[in-house]
Amino acid sequence: MSMPRRLRASVWMTFAVVAAAAAQPAESFYRVNPPDFVPYASVDNYQNVGASLSGSDAGDVFVASVHAPPGARLTSFELDACDTAADAMQIQASLYQCDRFGQNCVIVSQRTIADNAGCAAATEDLTLQPTTYVNDSAHQLYVYLQTASTFMSLRGAVIGYKLQISPAPATATFGDVPTNYIYFRAIEALTASGIAQGCGSGNYCPDQPVTRGELAKFLANGFGLHWQ
């Protein structure tokens, strides 16, 4: 005897929620390439642009914005660069979180390639810094690059991140989903993002079966699907 369609949808949805709750978010990487950088000031000049970027004078500074998704938790910051001269100078890249105007910046990570190290990568693990993530659309990430001589060249910067569920609110939106409910945080996140709404009368009806039509709406809202 086959399982009723309504029950199958409910079981599928329950399995999807449990699997999503148990799974660890995958780590993604955003690479900032040399052409993404622009001079920080009019006195800063390019030596070359393409596979690498160098300053024409000691102390030239370049900046690039990072397009990590809002709400993403930063996991790592890597500087890829070359230093081919024993001149006691270094190339350095700094990752900053600033406001939407590029002001009130707070440093997240700073990496340096050792003098005369050749082509190398310098990486910092950011997973132990719980505050280093793009919290909302009012904050932006920038990479500032400073070169100390023409013997140094940038090959790129890499930012690792993981998507995460928004922090749970202090008070519950629905009367039947209290703050101690096992799926409280997930339900609040779906509601805040517009993927799911309540069932009426201030309730969410978390134990109500899901129809194929309701499931289609959840998925379409979640993936932002549109007709083409």
Selection from 147, 174, 134, 175 nearest residue 34 by Cα? 147
User: pLDDT tens-digit profile of 106-144?
Assistant: 899 999 988 888 889 999 999 887 666 666 677 888 998
pLDDT at 139: 82
Domain that holds residue 191: 165-223
Looking at the structure, do residues 149 and 36 belong to the same domain, yes or no? yes
- The CATH number assigned to the domain holding 97 equals 2.60.120.260
198 plus 211 within the same structural domain: yes
Give me the number of domains the chain comprises. 2
What is the mean pLDDT of the segment spanning 78-89? 82
Q: Is residue 197 part of a domain?
A: yes
202 and 106 both lie in a single domain:
no
| Any domain includes 16 | no
**Is 78 contained in some domain?**
yes
**Cα separation, 143 vs 80, whole angstroms:** 13
Q: Is residue 52 located within the same domain as residue 147?
A: yes
Same domain, 110 and 42: yes
Confidence of residue 48 (pLDDT cuts 50, 70, 90): low
The alpha carbon dihedral of 223, 205, 185, 25 has a sign of negative
Residue 11 inside a domain? The answer is no
Supply φ then ψ for residue 169, to 5 degrees: -70, 165
Q: What are phi and psi of 73, to 5 degrees?
A: -90, 125
In a shared domain, residues 95 and 158: yes
Q: Is residue 122 in a domain?
A: yes
1 CB contacts (<8 Å, ≥6 apart)? none
Burial grade of 4 (CB within 10 A; 0-12, 13-18, 19 or more): exposed
Q: Give the chain's length.
A: 228
Residue 63 and residue 133 in one domain: yes
Same domain, 108 and 139: yes
Q: Residue 112's beta-bridge partner residues?
A: 92
Mean pLDDT of the region 4-10? 51
